[in-house]
Amino acid sequence: MAALGAYRCIECNGEAAELYRDYRRGVLRISICKSCQKPVDKYIEYDPVIILINAVLCKAQAYRHILFNTKINIHGKLCIFCLLCEAYIRWLQLQDSSQNTDPDDLIRYAKEWDFYRMFGIASLEQTSFFIGIFITLWWMTPEMLKRKSDFILLLKALLLSTYGKLLLIPAVIWEHDYTPLCLAFIKVFVLISNSQAIRVTLNLNRILPWFAIFFGLILENGVVCLFQKMGWDV
């Protein structure tokens, strides 16, 4: 039997030793939480699509299920893919803004280099945004981020909750007059899911995650301004 704390109750965030009990001969019984008397994790019976829809709706229960009760391990690849999407959008916008320039500029290698540069800038912005969040949370709630594993879980939650950036690609492929509005909505959606991920991971109120995100955004923009002042074309 697993130790208490191996899983979390998705309703009250209480610790649980197991999600279900196997009575053999195909008889399984979902565990009931000792604190709130509700099923520890009702989502183990649900279809992944339903769980995904609930996650898109930013339900705390779905976030707890994904972060605490599954062994999902795609955050690294997802992060790279989201950064590639962001780099592609920026690279496309860069091409649009320099359409009528000298034909020599249309050398493929120069364009490829531009893409890598955009990828580097997007990574730098993402990193400073996360560092801003970590510093704020570590400063405001040091008891929540005592161990290395707490930091790793928070980083995983932040990376997973940035999945909304994948929507950037369809928003640009089906380009229309409202594309800038769509991009703004995607940005807001990513921030909302980031805030929900922080809230669920550290079991905080609603205000503190937004405070951390606000400082993350300040640091992100600060780093960009600093590089621009240094003469880098960011």
Which residues of this protein are in contact with Zn ion, per CB under 5 A? 9, 11-12, 14, 33, 35-36
Least distance between Zn ion and beta carbon 30 (Å)? 12
CB closer to Zn ion out of 37 and 97:
37
Residue 31 or 70: which CB sits closer to Zn ion?
31
Residue whose token pair is 């730098």: 124
Burial of residue 16 (CB within 10 Å: 0-12, 13-18, 19+) is buried
Shortest distance in whole angstroms from residue 21 CB to Zn ion: 16
Three-state secondary structure call for residue 138: helix
Residues 6+ away with beta carbon under 8 Å from 124: 223, 227
- Minimum CB separation of residue 39 from Zn ion in Å reads 9
Please, which residue, 29 or 77, has the CB nearer to Zn ion? 29
Spatial neighbors of 151 by CB under 8 A, at least 6 apart, are 134, 145
CA distance 29 to 186: 40
Strand partners, 32: 39
Give whichever of 13 and 221 is closer to Zn ion, judged by the CB atom: 13
> CA 73, 124, 221, 198: dihedral to nearest 10 degrees?
20
Min dist. Cβ of residue 183 to Zn ion (A): 39
Q: Specify the long-range contacts of residues 72-77, CB closer than 8 Å, at least 24 apart.
A: 72/160, 74/160, 75/155, 75/156, 75/159, 75/160, 76/159
CB of 230 to Zn ion, least distance (A): 51
**220 contacts 128 by C-beta, under 8 angstroms:** yes
**Nearest distance, CB of residue 156 and Zn ion, angstroms:** 22
14 vs 211 by CB, closer to Zn ion: 14
Of residues 12 and 131, the one with the C-beta less far from Zn ion: 12
